[in-house]
Structure 1
């Protein structure tokens, strides 16, 4: 079953920072989110992914007042098994954590327990390439300003902007 998502996008400067990481990986011949050529592919923070989402009005009520929102990258994550996802972990403000928890409450089908705030940099990375990925990305953690709230509908292949801050 396809997962619908509620996501936050960075402002132009933050988008550039993440895309720079994507390009560095790509230029080094490593897996990168830059390789995902879908029209809706953009650096984002997924707040909720589920087969069905709360109504847009509820999402906007809980999240729009928080925008714009400053988050601080807090190191790299390596998630998965033989093939992994590499992402930047994010320190996020408590009001965002509370809003995401409230959105998750009452949803019957959630593919993951809890929420791990992050920005994905590369997927399907062979474990043998992880050190090369870390070497390319380095340790620079540039703060991001999240300004756009959107909903991803995989069945329609569309994103809908719900709010900007």
Structure 2
């Protein structure tokens, strides 16, 4: 059966493999989203869950699902670090995830599974990946200082990656690929 590899024009519609956080870390990121929302900015919507994207393509072929599910996964300690700004026309505010050898190895393993899928952006490749959690999107240049003021006082945070999920942007659905134990 031939895979559909047609290029999509809507680059916001993606297929991804994502790391999910423990309850305490997720609650802390949601608190930061609320601070940004209160400042009139654009954090991810109510249906979103804090995550770290490790692989993305315009299409992840269905035949790869079983391969993703067979990947070994153990909960992984990480540290959420300082703020970063991606882009300049429509900046995105993110909280850095401090790279560690185990985190980089995990990203590389999952990227390898989807590396031949269509529409993989250059910044997700293992030698160019910047692990992060999105805090606010579509910032206007005048909003950047307000966004920084809203969350810049927050300190680094220890967290645990407790699971891997798949996100299907076409259907707006998520499902677990691997689940570890909560710490």
Q: TM-score range by the shorter chain?
A: 0.7 to 0.9
Alignment of 1:25-64 (within 5 A): 25-33=36-44, 36-37=45-46, 39=47, 41-53=48-60, 55-62=64-71, 64=72
What is the alpha-carbon root mean square deviation over aligned residues?
1.8
For the residues of structure 1 that align with 2:140 and 2:175, how far apart are their CA atoms?
33
Check conservation: 2:77, 2:161, Cα contact below 8 A: yes
Report runs of 4+ in structure 1 exceeding 3 Å deviation.
Answer: none
The structure carrying a bigger strand percent of its residues is 1
Check conservation: 2:18, 2:54, Cα contact below 8 A: yes
Check conservation: 1:83, 1:124, Cα contact below 8 A: yes
State the secondary structure of the residue aligned to 1:124.
coil
Check conservation: 2:54, 2:111, Cα contact below 8 A: no
Deviations 1:126-151 (A, max 9, x none): 12211221111024121221112100
Alignment partner of 1:138 out of 152, 162, 170: 152
Alignment of 1:8-87 (within 5 A): 8-33=19-44, 36-37=45-46, 39=47, 41-53=48-60, 55-62=64-71, 64-65=72-73, 67-87=74-94
Gapped regions of structure 2 (runs ≥ 5): 1-7
**Number of aligned residue pairs:** 159
CA 159–60 in structure 1, closer or farther in 2 if over 3 Å, else same: same
* TM-score using structure 1 length: 0.86
* TM-score using structure 2 length: 0.78
